[in-house]
Every structure is written in C-alpha cells, then in structure tokens.
Amino acid sequence: MSIGPRDFRDQAYGAAAALRYSIFESRPDGFARRRAPKIRKFYEQAGIDASNRDVLDLACGSGQLAVHFLEHGYRVVGLDRSPHMLGHARQVCASYVDEGQALLVKGDARDFQFDRRFGLVACTFNGLNHLASLADVRRCLRCVDGVLAPGGYFVFDIDTPGGLRQAVETTFVNDTDEEITVRKRVFDGERVILYASGCFFHDDVWHRYRETIWKIVIDPMELRTEMLDLGWSPVGYFDEDFVEPVADPNAGKVAYGIARQAARS
C-alpha cells in the first residue's frame, strides 16, 4: 500500500494515519495490546463473564483489543467512525468475522444501539477525549447505558486535564529508521489540538503522513458524577492494571476507570 501526494491530507485517522496507527499498535508494546489482558483479567475476576461473553469495543481502532478477546473465546462487536481504521480491524479479525464471532461496524460513539446486551463495554486509548464536546460524552454514556447488560461493566481510560496540558506548547521530533515525524500540541481554551506530520517506512515504501487530532478536556470526577447520575454504581478509578483504587485520578496523566451498571428489575 503506497500513499501518494493526493492522500497527504490533514485528516484524523485517514488512510495514511490509520496505516501508521495499525503498524505501531500491532506490536507487543502497543497500547491496546498491553491493556487488553488487564481488562480481561478484571472482567473474569468480576465473574460476569460466565454468563455474558459479549464485549463491545467502542472506538475499536485497528482491532487489537478486540482480537485479544476473540482469541479467548469472547464475542466482540467493534465500533469506530473511521472506515480506514475499520479496514485494518477487519484484516486483524478476519477469521472471527467470517465465523460470526466478531462484528465490526462503522458508527458514531454518540449515537448507537444494538440488539444485544454486553457484559463489558470498553473504550480505551482516550476514546472519550476524542469526542467533540462534553455534551457528546454524555450522549455516548447514555448509549453505553442502553447496551450494557444488568450488572455489566464499562471500562475506560481518559487523558486527565493535567496530562493533556503537560504536553501543550511542546514539539516532539522522532527521527528513526522507521519514521521521521513532528508532533506539536496547542490548547485553544477548550481542546488540545495535536498537529502531526512526517513519513514512516513500511513494506519497503516511505509513506507520507499528516493529521490533526482534537482532544477535549474531561475532569475524571465530573465524568464519575455523570455515570452516577445514570445509575451506575460503583464508579471508581484504578491503577493501570485495574487492580488498586486511586484516590485522586487527576494526579496522573491518564485515569483508568471502571463503572458498573446496577442490576435492574
């Protein structure tokens, strides 16, 4: 796959950006590949997996978290708005899609519904920060509420306000044998905007790459209040292994959260 000049666009998760993301996320140190076993371990220790092995991977990206659960016998629905990201996810999960164990859907995290109830909904790699506004986050949470099974879990991570602002007004240059990229972040008062450009090497071809990504600022405790208002309880923040509770989720760069939907009659 070669990305030509016409594809060198300032686009979030366009063809070139999705290819780069898929390459780096498929490695053992990729974010989703490191998080997926920890989320699965939490879910299995919680016990609901015995009765509900349906997982929704919200903002599924290139499918790395989804394929981990599929490899362990779960049924997975992956939803993402980027057709380019979904294209890579379909390659990663191809055999499971063919067998009916996986379903990958182009959709909007602010407006979705399914005809099944999931024991686990996961939204990783700061997917909620990528929504356009806090109102959109609330819409997303209501959709999650509509598809969670009674007693089901929503597991997520977000960039904290402090974590986002630490990187503002900094420029990061990566010059290696695999890529030459420049990444700069600015804050416009409401969102952190990432400008990234450069090129990366794959399949003996240098691919040009440029994208702009917006991230909104979300306070973890305000997000917790939104979830409690939906009737989810408990709602808490933990270390990156989803084991030890964290008293102040704003103390770190990333907040890792778990919310449970109360069983309903």
pLDDT digits over 53-66, tens only?
999 999 999 999 99
Whether residue 146 sits in one domain with residue 47: yes
pTM for the full predicted model: 0.93
Whether residue 155 sits in one domain with residue 53: yes
**pLDDT value at 2 more than 60:** no
Question: How many domains does one find in the chain?
Answer: 2
Looking at residue 245, which CATH number applies to its domain? 3.40.50.150
Whether residue 25 sits in one domain with residue 144: yes
Whether residue 143 sits in one domain with residue 197: no
Average pLDDT value for residue range 116-132: 97
- CB count in 10 Å sphere of residue 203: 9
Question: Strand locations in 203-251, DSSP E?
Answer: 205-216, 232-238
Q: Average pLDDT of the chain?
A: 93
Q: Which residue has the tokens 């974590």?
A: 163
Whether residue 99 sits in one domain with residue 60: yes
- Bridge partners of 6, per DSSP, are none
Domain of 25 in residue numbering reads as 15-160+219-261
Whether residue 85 sits in one domain with residue 177: no
Whether residue 199 sits in one domain with residue 151: no
**pLDDT value at 7 more than 50:** no
Backbone φ, ψ for residue 131 (5° rounding): -70, 165
**pLDDT value at 6 more than 70:** no
Q: Do 183 and 171 touch, CB atoms closer than 8 A?
A: yes
Which runs of consecutive H residues, i.e. helices, occur in the chain? Answer: 15-25, 31-46, 64-71, 83-92, 94-98, 134-147, 161-166, 220-229
Whether residue 96 sits in one domain with residue 79: yes
Average pLDDT value for residue range 126-132: 96
Q: Which residue has the tokens 């030509």?
A: 4
Parallel/antiparallel/unpaired status of strands 118-123 and 179-187: unpaired
Query: What percent helix, strand, coil does the chain show, rounded to 5?
Result: 35, 35, 30
